[in-house]
């Protein structure tokens, strides 16, 4: 049989997929938000259009390999809340984590608990040809649309209504976002709840205003705030820290020997001693691990710590030295910054101003705390939002009390605890265990990056920035660069609220800095870091806001909006139902990325592939061997298809059988290279799955 490239069309064997175009309207723009937002109707239209498209196409998407077991976790987690199960006498909390308990217990089930009732209701609908778990795709996508709405609400803090709408539409029509919105029940909900938690947290702080007189908006006199005499202690402290950092480089040898001696002493300490108990707590595998491993780990930790302190201290030392050499210049800089940061932050008090108005703002506190708690119960990184909200609170200048913020944290912690059964036995210890598991992911996978296969824990630092640059549509990064410049200019002109804008920058900057510094294990593209996308698109919205301000006519803005959305819409149509495999024109499209970068890394091509195999199995039985995730292939297999697992080390294939392989890190080239390809499934010049006929003869 010749090689067949199968594409899902309207008359596909498996599903219907109308070529749908998602557009948005723009008209005259106002930068200042008003009580009546003229773009809200268009935003609603965008959401409805997206949902209509999803309603007709959600069952085209194949299952990602993470989905079936994760949805089984969602079906099982009710067991943890069952009173009858607890009274039965044989209650085992492990049963609440589903068939993959060893992995999924580290993921809070908050999202599954929230939306599964809707999924169960949809499962009752008599829709032929839709697998009961495929309804999750529709609910996942609905969740994404909620995120788009609140993304718009968040973006309106810094941009006008039409730029906010444009940024929301650009975000919503990214093929990567759209694809993960269907098939990713882990990282996409985390991104959505991150948006909700940030937006509700900032809104909470904005409403924590006491009835005391507002703080002065006048710049503090430079003689009071930036007088050089008041910074003497600061300079001394900075120079001392800088000198100590310099000594760590000059005395690296003795420090390394000291670390070795300390670790070996802890390793050899009696198990019952304080030092021995502490070491066993931080190094549970010490009895079977040689001491040199811990010495090397401690030294590597010291080097990372030294690098971080160096990065922080160098600009401070330079600032101090410049102040000593050129005091007048520092005074001028201080005067300028004082004017732009005024009113300067003040320290909150336990009692400040009037009591907190629970009736007026209590519901906002409850919503913000609920969002933070649910976010943490989706992934343990959630407290980052809490830290950003606390920082935003500290940056305020109005009189305020700590009390509402304390209640915010307590409610959030309670929500996390109630919605995450794994934490119930020992919350603090279990939370630390989860954090360690996530920080040092034990699953080391091969990753294809720029034509080379790397272990997921040895990827170059360019991995995440490169993929961001290649998988977002072409207009995003020019808008991002423009928006960053616009933000700086507006800050300098005091037309940008700098406190919330700083939170936006830290939202993307802190995780990105962590990735570049620590190089944690990464795989499956950057799905674990999807939550970095919203602040990037807000910055792009700033650039769009400036462009809309420069364009005077409504038709010009409409044309610009259409051009900006066009690459994403084309990508959605061309790659359906694999939009998450998108690469932009800078890479040459997904065809240019093929064999250089990973494309359909979650094996969603199995659905279309099995449709082709099922059609042939009507005439004769087929034995299909599958290298990766055979259980997903079994979900789609017709009665005449027997699916078996393929083990290259113990090859059980035989002439006449078929072999399903994926092109991820070129597995199709290394297994049965001599056998002909019977089917190949892909899009736009890239192949995702191949089916080989074992012992077959290639047809010219």
Query: CA quadruple 239, 243, 244, 245: dihedral positive or negative?
Result: positive
Report how far apart, in Å, the C-alpha atoms of 557 and of each of 27, 29, 159, 226, 545 are.
Answer: 7, 9, 15, 45, 10
Distance linking the first and last C-alpha atoms of the chain:
9
- Helix then strand count (H, E) for the chain reads 28, 8
On whether the CB atoms of residues 39 and 130 are closer than 8 A, the answer is no
3-class SS at 681? strand
How open is the CA angle 163-168-170, to the nearest 5 degrees?
90
| pTM for the model | 0.84
On whether the CB atoms of residues 399 and 349 are closer than 8 A, the answer is yes
Report how far apart, in Å, the C-alpha atoms of 3 and of each of 548, 604, 700 are.
Answer: 49, 20, 10
Percent of the residues in the chain that have a pLDDT greater than 70, as a whole number: 88
The pLDDT value given to residue 353: 55
The pLDDT value given to residue 222: 45
Place of tokens 């002493």: 265
Q: What is the DSSP string of 512-525?
A: HHHHHHH-----ST
Place of tokens 């899902």: 8
On whether the CB atoms of residues 456 and 447 are closer than 8 A, the answer is yes
For the chain, 700 residues long, the average pLDDT of each consecutive 10-residue run is 40 39 35 68 97 96 93 94 90 92 91 96 91 94 98 97 97 98 97 98 85 46 45 64 80 85 83 76 76 84 82 74 72 73 81 64 91 97 96 90 92 97 92 84 86 93 96 97 95 92 96 91 94 98 96 91 97 97 96 96 96 91 94 93 95 95 92 94 96 77
Q: Tell me the C-alpha distance between 180 and 196, whole Å.
A: 18
What phi and psi, each to the nearest 5 degrees, are found at residue 100?
Answer: -120, 55
Q: Tell me the C-alpha distance between 197 and 193, whole Å.
A: 6
On whether the CB atoms of residues 39 and 163 are closer than 8 A, the answer is no
Report how far apart, in Å, the C-alpha atoms of 12 and of each of 18, 141, 547, 557, 607 are.
Answer: 11, 23, 42, 38, 12
Query: CA quadruple 405, 408, 410, 416: dihedral positive or negative?
Result: negative
Q: Which residues pair with 560 in a beta bridge?
A: none
Q: What is the pLDDT of residues 360-418, one digit of tens each?
A: 678 899 999 999 999 999 999 999 999 999 999 999 988 888 889 999 999 999 999 99
The pLDDT value given to residue 7: 40
Q: Tell me the C-alpha distance between 560 and 544, whole Å.
A: 9
Report how far apart, in Å, the C-alpha atoms of 506 and of each of 501, 513, 639 are.
Answer: 9, 10, 54
Q: What is the pLDDT of residues 210-255, one digit of tens each?
A: 434 455 444 444 444 444 444 555 666 766 777 787 888 888 888 8
Q: What is the pLDDT of residues 271-315, one digit of tens each?
A: 777 777 777 777 777 777 888 888 888 888 888 788 878 877 777
Q: What is the mean pLDDT of the chain?
A: 86
The pLDDT value given to residue 12: 41
Place of tokens 């002439």: 655
Closest CA to 155 of 31, 335, 52, 22: 31
Query: Which of left, alpha, beta for 68 (phi over 0: left; psi -120 to 50: alpha)?
Result: alpha
Closest CA to 407 of 368, 376, 374, 380: 368
For 314, the enclosing helix (H) or strand (E) is helix 291-325
What phi and psi, each to the nearest 5 degrees, are found at residue 637?
Answer: -70, 135
The pLDDT value given to residue 70: 95
């Amino acid at each position: 049989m010749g090689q067949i490239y199968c594409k899902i069309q309207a008359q596909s064997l498996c599903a219907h997929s109308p070529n749908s175009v998602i557009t948005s309207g723009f008209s005259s723009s106002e930068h200042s938000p008003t009580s009546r937002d003229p773009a809200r109707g268009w935003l609603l239209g965008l959401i409805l259009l997206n949902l209509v498209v999803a309603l007709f196409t959600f069952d085209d998407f194949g299952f990602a390999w993470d989905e079936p077991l994760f949805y089984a976790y969602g079906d099982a987690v009710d067991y943890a809340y069952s009173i009858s199960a607890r009274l039965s006498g044989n209650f085992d909390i492990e049963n609440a984590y589903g068939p993959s308990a060893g992995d999924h217990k580290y993921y809070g089930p908050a999202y599954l608990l929230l939306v599964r009732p809707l999924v169960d209701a949809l499962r009752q609908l008599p829709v032929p040809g839709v697998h009961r778990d495929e309804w999750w795709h529709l609910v996942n996508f609905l969740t994404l649309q909620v995120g788009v709405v609140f993304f718009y609400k968040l973006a309106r803090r810094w941009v006008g209504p039409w730029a906010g709408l444009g940024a929301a539409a650009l975000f919503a029509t990214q093929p990567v976002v759209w694809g993960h919105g269907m098939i990713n029940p882990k990282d996409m909900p985390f991104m959505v709840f991150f948006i909700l938690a940030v937006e509700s947290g900032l809104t909470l702080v904005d409403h924590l205003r006491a009835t005391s007189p507002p703080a002065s908006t006048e710049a503090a006199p430079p003689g009071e705030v930036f007088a050089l005499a008041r910074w003497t202690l600061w300079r001394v402290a900075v120079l001392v820290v800088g000198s100590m950092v310099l000594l760590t480089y000059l005395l690296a040898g003795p420090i390394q020997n000291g670390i070795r001696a300390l670790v070996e002493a802890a390793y050899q300490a009696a198990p019952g001693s304080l030092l021995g108990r502490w070491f066993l707590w931080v190094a549970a595998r010490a009895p079977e691990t040689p001491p040199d491993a811990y010495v090397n780990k401690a030294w590597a930790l010291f080097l990372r710590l030294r690098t971080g302190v160096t990065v922080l201290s160098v600009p401070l030392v330079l600032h101090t030295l410049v102040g000593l050499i050129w005091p007048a210049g520092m005074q001028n800089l201080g005067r300028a910054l004082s004017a732009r940061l005024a009113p300067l932050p003040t320290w909150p008090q336990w009692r400040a101003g009037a009591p907190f108005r629970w009736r007026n703002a209590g519901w906002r506190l409850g919503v913000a705390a609920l969002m933070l708690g649910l976010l943490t119960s989706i992934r343990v990184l959630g407290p980052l939002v809490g830290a950003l909200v606390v920082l935003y609170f500290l940056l305020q200048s109005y009189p305020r009390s700590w009390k509402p913020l304390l209640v915010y944290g307590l409610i959030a912690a309670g929500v996390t605890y109630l919605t995450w059964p794994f934490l119930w036995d020992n919350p603090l210890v279990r939370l630390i265990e989860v954090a360690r598991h996530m920080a040092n992911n034990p699953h080391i996978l091969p990753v294809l990056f720029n034509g080379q296969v790397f272990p997921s824990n040895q990827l170059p630092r360019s991995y995440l920035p490169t993929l961001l640059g290649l998988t977002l549509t072409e207009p995003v990064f020019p808008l991002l660069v423009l928006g960053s410049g616009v933000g700086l200019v507006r800050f300098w002109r005091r037309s940008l609220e700098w406190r919330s804008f700083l939170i936006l920058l830290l939202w993307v900057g802190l995780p990105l800095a962590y990735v570049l510094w620590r190089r944690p294990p990464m795989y499956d593209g950057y799905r674990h870091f999807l939550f970095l996308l919203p602040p990037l698109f807000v910055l792009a919205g700033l650039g769009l806001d400036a462009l809309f301000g420069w364009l005077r006519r409504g038709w010009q803005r409409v044309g610009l909006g259409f051009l900006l959305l066009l690459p994403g819409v084309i990508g959605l149509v061309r790659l359906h139902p694999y939009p998450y495999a998108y690469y932009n024109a800078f890479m040459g499209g997904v065809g240019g990325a093929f064999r250089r970068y990973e494309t359909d890394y979650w094996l969603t091509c199995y659905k279309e592939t099995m449709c082709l195999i099922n059609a042939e199995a009507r005439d004769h039985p087929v034995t299909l061997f599958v290298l990766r995730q055979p259980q997903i292939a079994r979900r789609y297999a017709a009665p005449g298809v027997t699916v078996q697992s393929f083990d290259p080390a113990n090859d059980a294939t035989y002439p006449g059988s078929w072999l399903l392989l994926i092109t991820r890190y070129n597995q199709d080239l290394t297994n049965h290279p001599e056998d002909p390809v019977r089917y190949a499934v892909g899009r736009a010049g890239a192949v995702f799955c191949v089916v080989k006929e074992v012992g077959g003869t290639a047809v010219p």
